[in-house]
C-alpha cells in the first residue's frame, strides 16, 4: 500500500495567519457561506475571537492565544523577559479565561511564559519564535498522527466523525480529520460520515466544507442518527478529537462524543481519539475534574440566527462531555498510540 500523502491536495486550509503586525483568523462563525478572515490587532481582540468561536478547536485556540501574546507585547516596555512576563500577565490571564475546557489554551500560554522568563533583552523575538514553533510543531504532529491513526484502519473501512477536527481546528491537516484524510489518501477508508454536531453545527458547516474542499466524498447525518448508523455495517471506526485527555485516559471532547462511544461499544465498533501531546493533561487525574464549558442557551434556541424553540423554554448548553477511558480503543498522539488507555499506559507514554 502506498502510504505517501499528497499534502498539496489534503492540506490547503489555514485558519490562522500571522501577518507580522496582526493576526488574521478565518472566521468560523461565517463558514461555509462566507469565507472571510477576521483581523485581530490586539490580544483582547484575539481573546474575544476565541470566546466567540471565530477561531475554535483545541490546538487552534492555543496557537491563536500564543500569537495574542505577541500582540500584547506591543503594548509593553521591558528590559528583559522576566519583567515582560510580569507586565504581560493580565493580558495572558484574559486570553486564558476565553475558554475553560481545552487544555491547549493554558498549555500554549504556559509555554509562551516559560520562553519569556528565560529570555533576555531579545524577549520580543523569543516570543515570536515561540508562537511560530507552537504552530509549526502542531502541523507536524498532525501529519504524524495521520500516519499513525490511519495505520490502525483496515482497507475498505467506514468511519464516523464528530465536530470539526480538521485544518480549521489546528495549524493545518487536523487531528481526527487528519487521520481520515490520511486513511482516504491511502485507500483504507471508503466511507466517511460526519455528524452535524448540534448546536453549533461544526460538522455540517465546517467538516463538510473541509471534506468538500479536498474532494473527499462524505455523508452528513443528524447527531440522532448515529446509533442507527453504527448498528448497520457501514462504520468500523468512530474517529474523534479531544480537548483534554486526563492521566487515566478519560477524554473531554465536543458534546455528543460520550454517547457515540457508548453506542460504538454497544455495536462492536471501534473508537479512536486523535490529539497532540499538547492536549494531554497529566496533572488532571480523571475526567470528573475537568471544567465543562457551558455556553449561552441562545445557541440552542435557534438555527442560523432564526428562533426555532418555543418562547419561554429553558435550555441547558454544556458544549463538552467526558468519555471514560474504558470506552476508548486507541488514543493516537504524535508520540505514539495508547491502546485501551488507563493510568499505567498513559504514564508509560507521557510520564508524570
**Residue among 18, 25, 46, 56 that touches ligand MRU (CB under 6 A):** 56
| 270 is a site residue for ligand MRU (CB under 6 A) | no
Interface with ligand MRU, residue 175, by CB under 6 A: yes
- Pick 294 or 339: Cβ nearer ligand MRU: 294
Least distance from ligand MRU to the Cβ atom of residue 161, Å: 9
Measured from each CB, the residue nearest to ligand MRU is 241
Binding mask 274-313 for ligand MRU (x = CB under 6 A): ----------------------------------------
Q: Which of 251, 248, 246, 247 is nearest to 272 (CA)?
A: 251
Residue 108 touching ligand MRU (CB under 6 A): no
Tell me which of 138, 243, 281, 321 is the catalytic residue. Answer: 243
Residue 327 β-bridge partners = none
The span of 14-22, 111-119, 163-171, 261-269 binding ligand MRU (CB under 6 A) equals 163-171
- Least separation in angstroms between CB 45 and ligand MRU: 18
Show contacts of 199-203: CB within 8 Å, 24+ apart: 199/299, 199/300, 199/317, 200/53, 200/299, 200/319, 202/56, 202/163, 202/164, 202/254, 203/161, 203/162, 203/163, 203/164
User: What is the closest distance, in whole angstroms, from the C-beta atom of residue 126 to ligand MRU in the complex?
Assistant: 27
Q: Is 102 in the site for ligand MRU (CB under 6 A)?
A: yes
Alpha carbon of 172 to those of 8, 124, 175, 271, 321: distances in Å? 12, 25, 9, 23, 25
243 is known as an active-site residue? yes
CA 91 to chain centre: 23
Closest CA to 293 of 47, 101, 107, 96: 101
Give the Cα separation of 341 and 15 in Å (integer). Answer: 31
Q: What span, in angstroms and rounded, lies between the C-alpha atoms of 75 and 99?
A: 23
SS3 assignment, position 295: coil
In the complex, minimum distance from the CB of residue 85 to ligand MRU, in angstroms, rounded to a whole number? 27
Contact pattern from residue 223 through residue 242 relative to ligand MRU, giving x for each residue in contact according to CB under 6 A and a dash for the rest:
------------------xx
Q: Are the C-beta atoms of residues 163 and 254 closer than 8 Å to each other?
A: yes
C-alpha 156/C-alpha 189 separation (Å) is 6
Please check whether residue 130 is in contact with residue 111, taking contact to mean a CB–CB distance below 8 angstroms.
yes
In terms of CB distance, is 45 or 245 closer to ligand MRU?
A: 245
Q: Is 26 in the site for ligand MRU (CB under 6 A)?
A: no
- Could you list the active site residues? 243
Contact positions toward ligand MRU, by CB under 6 A? Answer: 56-59, 102, 163, 165, 169-170, 175, 202, 241-243, 253-254, 319
Amino acid at each position: 500500500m502506498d502510504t505517501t500523502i499528497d499534502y498539496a491536495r489534503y492540506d490547503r486550509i489555514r485558519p490562522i495567519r500571522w501577518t507580522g503586525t496582526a493576526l488574521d483568523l478565518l472566521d468560523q462563525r461565517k463558514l461555509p457561506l462566507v469565507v472571510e478572515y477576521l483581523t485581530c490587532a490586539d490580544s483582547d481582540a484575539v481573546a474575544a475571537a476565541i470566546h466567540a468561536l471565530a477561531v475554535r478547536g483545541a490546538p487552534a485556540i492555543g496557537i491563536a492565544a500564543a500569537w495574542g501574546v505577541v500582540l500584547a507585547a506591543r503594548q509593553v516596555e521591558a528590559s528583559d523577559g522576566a519583567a515582560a512576563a510580569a507586565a504581560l500577565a493580565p493580558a495572558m490571564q484574559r486570553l486564558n479565561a476565553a475558554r475553560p475546557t481545552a487544555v491547549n489554551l493554558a498549555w500554549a500560554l504556559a509555554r509562551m511564559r516559560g520562553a519569556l522568563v528565560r529570555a533576555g533583552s531579545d524577549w520580543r523575538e523569543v516570543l515570536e519564535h515561540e508562537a511560530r514553533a507552537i504552530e509549526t510543531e502542531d502541523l507536524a504532529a498532525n501529519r504524524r498522527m495521520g500516519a499513525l491513526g490511519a495505520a490502525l484502519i483496515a482497507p475498505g473501512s467506514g468511519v464516523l466523525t464528530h465536530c470539526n477536527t480538521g485544518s480549521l481546528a489546528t495549524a493545518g491537516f487536523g487531528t481526527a480529520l487528519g487521520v481520515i484524510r490520511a486513511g482516504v489518501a491511502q485507500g483504507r477508508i471508503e466511507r466517511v460520515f460526519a455528524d452535524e454536531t448540534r448546536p453549533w453545527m461544526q460538522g455540517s458547516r465546517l467538516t463538510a466544507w473541509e471534506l468538500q474542499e479536498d474532494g473527499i466524498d462524505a455523508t452528513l447525518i443528524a447527531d440522532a442518527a448515529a446509533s442507527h448508523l453504527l448498528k448497520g455495517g457501514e462504520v468500523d471506526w468512530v474517529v474523534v478529537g479531544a480537548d483534554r485527555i486526563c492521566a487515566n485516559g478519560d477524554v473531554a471532547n465536543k458534546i455528543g462524543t460520550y454517547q457515540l462511544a457508548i453506542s460504538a461499544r454497544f455495536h462492536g465498533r471501534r473508537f479512536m481519539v486523535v490529539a497532540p501531546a499538547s492536549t494531554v493533561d497529566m496533572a488532571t487525574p480523571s475526567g470528573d475534574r475537568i471544567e465543562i464549558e457551558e455556553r449561552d442557551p441562545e445557541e440552542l434556541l435557534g438555527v442560523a440566527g432564526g428562533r426555532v424553540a418555543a418562547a419561554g423554554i429553558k435550555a441547558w448548553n454544556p458544549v463538552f462531555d467526558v468519555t471514560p477511558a474504558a470506552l476508548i480503543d486507541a488514543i493516537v498522539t504524535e508520540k505514539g498510540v495508547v491502546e485501551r488507555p488507563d493510568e499505567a499506559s498513559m504514564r508509560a507514554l507521557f510520564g508524570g
